[in-house]
Amino acid sequence: MVQKFYLCTTIFKQFFMATVTAFIRTLQRVDKNKPANVRFRLRDGRDFQLFHSSELMVAPDKWDNKQQKIKARCLIDEVERNIFDTSVNDRKSLIKSIFLYKGRILTSELLNTEINKALNPEKYEANPEKMTLFQFINKFIDNAPNRKDKKTGRAFSESIVQDYRKAKKHLIDFAVKKYVRLPR
């Protein structure tokens, strides 16, 4: 029995059935024991399909295309098998929910971005701390000895760092003359 997940959406009073399937792609010439990435196909009708290649890896001889999971007869620890099968099913559910939210405006690149946002939300969070100009200058000066000149490839000399400090001092003096309160 083939497990298929169906998803129904109503967009502009039209009825669509979407299917998410998991599969692997291997070359015949390549070693059958070399792990392959699990790929996902989202289909909605005949004219709409998207692909997503996941980081989940499995050996081709252990993958069951019909059941879309690790073969039952393979000698694998039951805990590992359950974790892998659960992560495949979770990824299918994630793809379905993204399609439900976005609809047919989704592209493969957008699908990959949305999946990455769901799996790694810390990469996409806005940085609440904004740096002031003087904080940026301080950070720049602190990192200056570790940086290299683009033209020569050599590390910055101490005289260049002194010039940066001098420019910072002039900026502070200018701001103080204009009665601006500075966070130092």
Q: What is the Cβ-side half-sphere exposure of residue 44, based on CA atoms within 13 angstroms? A: 22
At residue 10, does pLDDT exceed 90? no
Q: What band does 74 get if pLDDT is binned at 50, 70 and 90?
A: confident
Give the pLDDT mean for 27-35.
71
Q: Does residue 104 share a domain with residue 70? A: yes
- Look at the pTM and tell me if it is higher than 0.85: no
Q: Does residue 42 share a domain with residue 19? A: yes
> Can you point out the beta strands (E) in 12-118?
14-24, 36-44, 49-58, 63-64, 69-70
26 lies in some domain? yes
182 lies in some domain? no
CA distance 24 to 41: 10
What is the distance, to the nearest Å, from the Cα of residue 77 to the centroid of all Cα atoms in its chain? 29
Q: Look-up: residue for tokens 């299918």?
A: 92
Q: Does residue 108 share a domain with residue 143? A: no
Helix (H, G, I), strand (E, B) or coil at 88: helix
59 lies in some domain? yes
Q: Kindly tell me the sign of the dihedral angle through the C-alpha atoms of 85, 90, 91, 93.
A: positive
Q: Does residue 137 share a domain with residue 87? A: no
Q: Does residue 109 share a domain with residue 34? A: yes
103 lies in some domain? yes
CA distance 51 to 53: 7
Q: Does residue 151 share a domain with residue 118? A: no
63 lies in some domain? yes
What is the predicted pLDDT for the residue at 123?
83
Q: Which long-range contacts (CB under 8 A, 24 or more apart) does 147-155 make?
A: none
What is the predicted pLDDT for the residue at 46?
85
Q: Do 56 and 72 contact (CB within 8 A), yes or no?
A: no
184 lies in some domain? no
Give the pLDDT mean for 113-137.
83
Q: Does residue 117 share a domain with residue 58? A: yes
Q: Which long-range contacts (CB under 8 A, 24 or more apart) does 44-53 make?
A: 44/16, 44/17, 44/18, 44/19, 44/99, 44/104, 45/16, 45/17, 48/104, 50/106, 50/107, 50/108, 50/111, 51/108, 52/91, 52/95, 52/108, 52/111, 52/112, 52/115
Q: Does residue 99 share a domain with residue 170? A: no
183 lies in some domain? no
Q: Count structural domains, the chain.
A: 2
What is the predicted pLDDT for the residue at 90?
95
In this predicted model, what pLDDT tens digit does every residue of 140-173 receive, in sequence order?
888 888 888 777 878 888 888 889 899 999 988 8
H or E element in which residue 121 lies? helix 121-124
Q: Does residue 137 share a domain with residue 156? A: yes
Q: Does residue 140 share a domain with residue 94? A: no
CA distance 149 to 157: 10
What is the predicted pLDDT for the residue at 179?
63
Q: Does residue 111 share a domain with residue 156? A: no
Q: Does residue 63 share a domain with residue 46? A: yes
* Average pLDDT of the residues of the chain: 83
Q: Do 156 and 147 contact (CB within 8 A), yes or no?
A: yes
What is the domain extent for residue 166?
133-177
